[in-house]
Amino acid sequence: MGTPHPAERVKLFIAIMHAPDFDPAPVMDRLKGRFGEVEAGYGPVGFSWSDYYAPEMGSGLQKFYAVFCRTIERGELPGIKLWTNDMEAVYARDGKRSVNIDPGYLARDKLVLATTKDFFHRLYLGRGIYGEVTLHLRDGIYRFFSWTYPDYQEKKLHELLFKARASLVGELRKQGTSGKSAR
């Protein structure tokens, strides 16, 4: 029989996609004001993997990925997702989003994204928010699933995650955890 214990802390991860004529600097300022400094980032890169967002946000979308310095409790993710949804509404124009803010967290063995959409591979986290394991780390490689969005399969994004994971594992070791995954 296993013994329940508190989950290890994780790094906050946020992906920001925006219309080409939208300045994401105020969004980043608000994110930093709430969550602290960004430890590592990747982008902006052109979002060319899907036209799903084009009817709402237009074409030529840009995307930036950020991992924040401070760690969070995993249970904070639903509240963070609701807050970022409210922020999207603040920057909407004529009822359409100009920015899409997708929070998640980086654990030592996976990247989890928050969503409002239920599906077979997503677990309910509370407050109308679901969590999706988007990537998992095995044998030193980030691996993806059939549902993983194409941009999360990119090597440069994995490099960002490895960099942030190294500091996370260091912090976990300082806190007295092994930094190793149990199976």
Can you say how many angstroms the Cα of residue 24 is from the centroid of all Cα atoms in its chain?
16
181 assigned to some structural domain: no
Gap between the Cα atoms of 122 and 28, Å rounded: 27
| pLDDT at residue 182 is higher than 50 | no
Residue 39 falls inside a structural domain: yes
- Does residue 27 lie within any of the structural domains? yes
**What is the pLDDT at residue 180?**
55
How many domains, the chain? 1
101 lies in a domain? yes
- For residue 182, being part of any structural domain is answered with no
pLDDT at position 183 is 44
**Whole-number pLDDT of residue 132:** 98
Mean model confidence pLDDT for the chain: 95
pLDDT bucket at 178, cuts 50 / 70 / 90 = low
Distance of CA 3 to the CA centre of its chain: 29
0.85 surpassed by pTM: yes
Mean pLDDT over residues 126-131, rounded? Answer: 98
pLDDT digit string, tens, across residues 20-70: 999 999 999 999 999 999 999 999 999 988 999 999 999 999 999 999 999
Report yes or no: 145 and 153 within 8 Å, Cβ to Cβ: no
Rounded CA separation 125/109 (Å)? 19
Residue 22: HSE in the Cβ half-sphere, 13 Å Cα cutoff: 27
Distance CA 108, CA 166 (A): 8
The percentage of the chain sitting over the pLDDT mark of 90, rounded to a whole number, equals: 93
Determine the average pLDDT of the residues in 106-119. Answer: 98
Is residue 81 one of the residues assigned to a domain? yes
- Domain span at residue 97? 10-174
Tell me 157's DSSP state.
H
Q: Looking at residue 176, what is its pLDDT?
A: 81
Mean of pLDDT values over 77-98: 97
